[in-house]
Amino acid sequence: MKCAVSHNCGGCLGPHLSYRDHLAQKQREMEALLGRFCPVAPILGMEDPYHYRNKSIATFAQDRSGKLVSGIYAQGTHRVIPVEDCCLQMEVLNRTQAAVLSAARRCRLPAYQEDRGQGLLRHCVVRCDSQGQKALVTLVTPSSYFPGSRNFCKELTRLAPWVAGVVQSINPRATSAVLGKTFKTLWGKPFLEDTLLGLRFTLSSGSFYQVNPRQTRRLYETALDFAALDGTQTVLDAYCGIGTIGLSAAPRAGEVSGVELNPAAARDAAANARRNGAENARFYQGDATAWMEEQARRGPSPQVVILDPPRASTTSRFISAVQDMGPDRVVYVSCGPQTLARDLEGFAAAGYRPVKCQPVDMFPFTPHTEVVVLLEREKGSAPARRRRPSSGQAPAPL
């Protein structure tokens, strides 16, 4: 596929590469990293590896003539290259970003200038549902000040009637995180609704959601297959986001409990449980390690632990808490195979043997690979059952 900006855009490795070669390279990398632990199954690639992303992030700037532009930073710089037609993003996202730019130009909204600390628009994050029918627009500004926001929303929704909501995210900090911690609804609904594996999910602007819906289905099916649920087990879903894995597991489990640090995502997870009638699922807000340690103290022990931590991975204390609980199976979903390899050593020392590993190409034409690993408790290795005093009150589900 041809891309007009791939020679200097830092968004991907370039869609002109042969996808087959690229997949073969990812397979070799996964075997080199993980092959010493267990067999690595052939990577699940995409039949059509284009227009897969359901989330687009654009940065605003002003060109030399002062005209507002939006796009992606050039590789290794803070120079914005206008991107009109990204072939990794779903088409509705490209159309929505174009509409946001037109509406912002028409309303004469200025870009934020990092060096001077002046201006308004920093980034625009657009998410869409798996069908590409609805979009949620989040505009990042340095403060809550947003003159003309009402006119902007009117103009945007005229140009892009598929926009379901416009949210402002306030991020005064100059960090690599795009979104700030405070959100304000400017127009419409401050969330997006989507369907995945027959379940309905609501997600807020700041909640994590897998970016490749076509492959997410295969990722979750692999995780559930590895979990080997028979309708009776207690399942813990750690780093659960909006509860997608836990709620997919719920119909085949006895009980599901999930934990998530981001308060909005944890609330989304609890609401998603109610909306899907999953009476056997409960969600908690908190740090996964602290929560696991508390679960290990209080019992009863789960039979299956599923974890899907961020790229920086989990903690050695989390692994010790798993050892204390002694589930039969651990299903580790990882977007950071390097940190995963380190954790697999920790799990092996805790009596959990990696049995099989399935790479899934969630991010074609980027260097990233997602992996699901099944670990089983070694026969004869009993749960450690170290008794530690409880920290006080039992955590309350949302």
What are the tokens at 315? 């903690």
By CB under 6 A, the residues from 303 to 362 that bind ligand SAH are 308-310
> Is the Cβ of residue 287 or residue 378 nearer to ligand SAH in the bound state?
287
Question: Is residue 260 involved in binding ligand SAH (CB under 6 A)?
Answer: yes
Question: Is residue 241 involved in binding ligand SAH (CB under 6 A)?
Answer: yes
Count residues contacting ligand SAH (CB under 6 A)?
Answer: 18
> Is the Cβ of residue 65 or residue 176 nearer to ligand SAH in the bound state?
176
Provide the residue count of the chain.
Answer: 398
> For the CA atoms of 316, 319, 324, 330, what is the dihedral angle to 10 degrees?
180
The piece of 11-19, 47-55, 163-171, 256-264 that touches ligand SAH (CB under 6 A) is 256-264
Question: Is residue 265 involved in binding ligand SAH (CB under 6 A)?
Answer: yes
- Binder to ligand SAH among 222, 262, 295, 323 (CB under 6 A)? 262
* Closest-approach residue to ligand SAH (CB): 241
- Tell me if 316 sits within 8 A of 352, measured CB to CB: no
Question: Is residue 261 involved in binding ligand SAH (CB under 6 A)?
Answer: yes
> Is the Cβ of residue 208 or residue 332 nearer to ligand SAH in the bound state?
208
- Binder to ligand SAH among 43, 57, 90, 288 (CB under 6 A)? 288
Going from the C-alpha of 300 to that of each of 238, 356, 378, the distances in angstroms are 16, 27, 20
Question: Is residue 370 involved in binding ligand SAH (CB under 6 A)?
Answer: no
d(CA 311, CA 321) in angstroms, rounded, equals 20
Tell the smallest beta-carbon distance from residue 265 to ligand SAH (Å): 5
Tell the smallest beta-carbon distance from residue 267 to ligand SAH (Å): 12
Residue 58: strand pairing partners: 124
What are the tokens at 69? 């532009």
By CB under 6 A, the residues from 200 to 219 that bind ligand SAH are 208-210
Tell the smallest beta-carbon distance from residue 329 to ligand SAH (Å): 17
d(CA 47, CA 265) in angstroms, rounded, equals 31
Tell the smallest beta-carbon distance from residue 161 to ligand SAH (Å): 29
By CB under 6 A, the residues from 83 to 112 that bind ligand SAH are none
> Is the Cβ of residue 5 or residue 238 nearer to ligand SAH in the bound state?
238
What is the set of active-site residues? 335
- Binder to ligand SAH among 225, 230, 287, 345 (CB under 6 A)? 287
Tell the smallest beta-carbon distance from residue 388 to ligand SAH (Å): 19
Tell the smallest beta-carbon distance from residue 243 to ligand SAH (Å): 8
- Which residue in 333, 364, 92 sits closest to 214, CA to CA? 364
d(CA 235, CA 219) in angstroms, rounded, equals 18
> Is the Cβ of residue 94 or residue 207 nearer to ligand SAH in the bound state?
207
> Is the Cβ of residue 37 or residue 318 nearer to ligand SAH in the bound state?
318
- Binder to ligand SAH among 244, 272, 303, 358 (CB under 6 A)? 244
The piece of 129-137, 260-268, 271-279, 292-300 that touches ligand SAH (CB under 6 A) is 260-268
- Would you tell me which residues interact with ligand SAH (CB under 6 A)? 208-210, 239-241, 244-245, 259-262, 265, 287-288, 308-310
